[in-house]
Amino acid sequence: MKGFLDLDSLKSAAENGTIDTVLVCLIDMQGRLMGKRFHVSNFLDSAWQETHCCDYLLATDLEMSTLEGYAATSWQSGFGDYVMKPDLSTLRVLPWLKRTALVLCDIIDHHTHEPVPHSPRSILKKQIERLEQLGYSAMMATELEFFLFKGSYEKLRRKHYMNLEPISGYNEDYNILQTTKEEPVMQRLRNGLYGAGIPVENSKGEAEVGQEELNIRYSDALACADHHSIAKHATKEIAWQQGYSATFLPKWHADRVGSASHIHMSLWKDGSNAFHDSSKKYGMSDLMQQFMAGIIHYAPEYTIFLAPYVNSYKRFMKGTFAPTKTAWSVDNRTAGFRLCGESTKSVRVECRIPGSDVNPYLAQSALIAAGIKGIEDKLELDDAATGDLYNDDSVPEIPSTLRYATTLFDRSDMLKQAMGEDVIAHYTRSAEWEQESFDNAVTQWEIARGFERA
């Protein structure tokens, strides 16, 4: 059984024993799948309409800690419930898990019955609606880069993630011989995602030892984010099933290139790419120029939606294909924003700032919001930068620390107007907690450096 299901086909699959489990999942602040495993009979009986979860699921960190400082939920409010409302258009088979289907949920306030505004899926839907009011839809695609290591998550955890051994022994960028050795994971991943109705294009070796890239065909913005989150989850499960571990940590080693998640985007109207105008330079329409001016101008303000953790900023280094500047350039991988498909009907912009730890719903929301602002204010696009932008001091820098990026995010009037002040306050607190947690940590680097010599 491949691809999507409706309730009738799920009922048939339940009756013939093909499906016995349904994963009912929300997207949390980190972009992960959280939820429950339902017996298919109970899902068909009632849970296809709704189920419930604790509201702390949208107010935690990576460790699932119950944090202070959120207006939406707290010990004082008693950590109540949210409604998980299945989006039945996302109901699909998961071929890599036996007799299992999955459905994604929207999160509804238990009392007001309104969408929870700081839910990642709600945030993206709001920006999509704003764009639709202007007559456009966003088409997007994300590239997922990650590393594969020998040994299960359990084994590597017991080793405290020391002396990690990548799946390969050398840079495998586009290398067919090396990636053949990795097919026990990657072939299962491609076929599993295809069987789940996710339009996989290809996988390839990336420019580091043990690094992979997975590419999924462009789609509308919400589907793109759904595909990304499911694919990331599948990568971890399938790697684990084969005795390997996959990590989407952007920078796992100081001497290794980091992992990115570039986002390609264009706006469409009446079935055509509204970014394309053959009469304009590079084929860029006025609309595209205004949109790009917006996403570049406001990039420092929404960086925490592209780089949400302390580790995210370790990736921004010269000579690593990770950008350090916010300018745009034509087919130039040293820029934060790259023009792709110049002078063709597929002209689009690639944002190269996000790392592999990005929550795609939040990143895409920020890009759409900034682009809309550029259109509304008819911002003018600066000329394309050229050459090695790493060493071009005239080009604005991407924020280099989470602390600085959080300050810019918290002060952003554009984001507050686009998403709501409560939403910005909620994710500001998330970023502050991440920084506080790191500030309180004692790292192995500090111990090794100062144990004897301090």
Sequence-ordered list of residues with C-beta below 8 angstroms from that of 174, at least 6 positions apart, any chain: 204, 205
The answer, yes or no, to whether residue 8 has pLDDT greater than 70, is yes
What CATH number should be reported for the domain holding residue 73?
A: 3.10.20.70
Q: Cα-flanking dihedrals φ and ψ of residue 224, to 5°?
A: -60, -45
Mean pLDDT estimate for the chain:
94
Predicted TM-score of the model (pTM): 0.96
380 occurs within a structural domain: yes
The answer, yes or no, to whether residue 1 has pLDDT greater than 60, is no
Q: What is the pLDDT of residues 215-268, one digit of tens each?
A: 999 999 999 999 999 999 999 999 999 999 999 999 999 999 999 999 999 999
Sequence-ordered list of residues with C-beta below 8 angstroms from that of 417, at least 6 positions apart, any chain: none
Give me the percent of the chain exceeding a pLDDT of 90.
87
Do 108 and 135 belong together in one domain? no
The residue from 68, 89, 116 where one domain ends is 116
- Copy the structure tokens of residue 348: 């689009």
444 occurs within a structural domain: no
Lowest mean pLDDT among 17-26, 27-36, 41-50, 392-401: 392-401
Distance CA 102, CA 120 (A): 18
432 occurs within a structural domain: no
1 occurs within a structural domain: no
DSSP one-letter string for 26-61: EE-TTS-EEEEEEEHHHIIIIITT-EEEEGGGGS--
The answer, yes or no, to whether residue 72 has pLDDT greater than 90, is no
Q: Cα-flanking dihedrals φ and ψ of residue 241, to 5°?
A: -60, -30
Distance CA 181, CA 112 (A): 53
pLDDT at 420: 97
Do 109 and 168 belong together in one domain? no
Three-state DSSP at 371 gives helix
Contact predicate 37/22, CB 8 Å: yes
Do 337 and 365 belong together in one domain? yes
Rounded to 5 degrees, what angle do the CA atoms 153, 239, 161 make?
25
Distance CA 93, CA 79 (A): 33
Three-state DSSP at 413 gives helix
pLDDT at 141: 97
Distance CA 240, CA 125 (A): 32
pLDDT at 320: 84
Question: What's the whole-number mean pLDDT along residues 357-370?
Answer: 98
Q: What is the pLDDT of residues 302-312, one digit of tens each?
A: 999 999 999 99
Do 58 and 147 belong together in one domain? no
Closest CA to 250 of 317, 337, 319: 317
| Count of structural domains, the chain | 2
Distance CA 295, CA 326 (A): 9
431 occurs within a structural domain: no
Do 151 and 45 belong together in one domain? no
Q: Give the residue numbers spanning the domain of 395.
A: 129-426
Question: What's the whole-number mean pLDDT along residues 354-364?
Answer: 98
Amino acid at 185: V
The answer, yes or no, to whether residue 74 has pLDDT greater than 80, is no
The residue from 90, 116, 142 where one domain ends is 116
The residue from 62, 91, 116 where one domain ends is 116
Do 60 and 88 belong together in one domain? yes
pLDDT at 77: 78
11 occurs within a structural domain: yes
Closest CA to 315 of 354, 347, 283, 351: 354
226 occurs within a structural domain: yes
Do 89 and 141 belong together in one domain? no
Q: What is the pLDDT of residues 412-450, one digit of tens each?
A: 999 999 999 999 999 999 999 999 999 999 999 999 999
Do 143 and 41 belong together in one domain? no
- 8-state DSSP, 374: H
Other CB atoms within 10 A of residue 187 CB: 14
Diameter of the chain measured on Cα atoms: 69
The answer, yes or no, to whether residue 202 has pLDDT greater than 80, is yes
pLDDT at 387: 86
Other CB atoms within 10 A of residue 67 CB: 19
Query: Packing angle between helix 183-195 and helix 221-241, nearest 10 degrees?
Result: 140
Distance CA 204, CA 190 (A): 11
Do 20 and 168 belong together in one domain? no
Do 134 and 106 belong together in one domain? no
Contact predicate 26/104, CB 8 Å: yes
CA distances from 22 to 17, 44, 85, 235 (A): 13, 10, 14, 19
Question: What's the whole-number mean pLDDT along residues 107-126?
Answer: 95
Question: What's the whole-number mean pLDDT along residues 30-45?
Answer: 97
360 occurs within a structural domain: yes
Do 249 and 282 belong together in one domain? yes
- CA 10, 15, 19, 21 dihedral sign is positive
The answer, yes or no, to whether residue 388 has pLDDT greater than 90, is no
Do 103 and 229 belong together in one domain? no
- Copy the structure tokens of residue 4: 């999507």
Closest CA to 23 of 240, 245, 234: 234
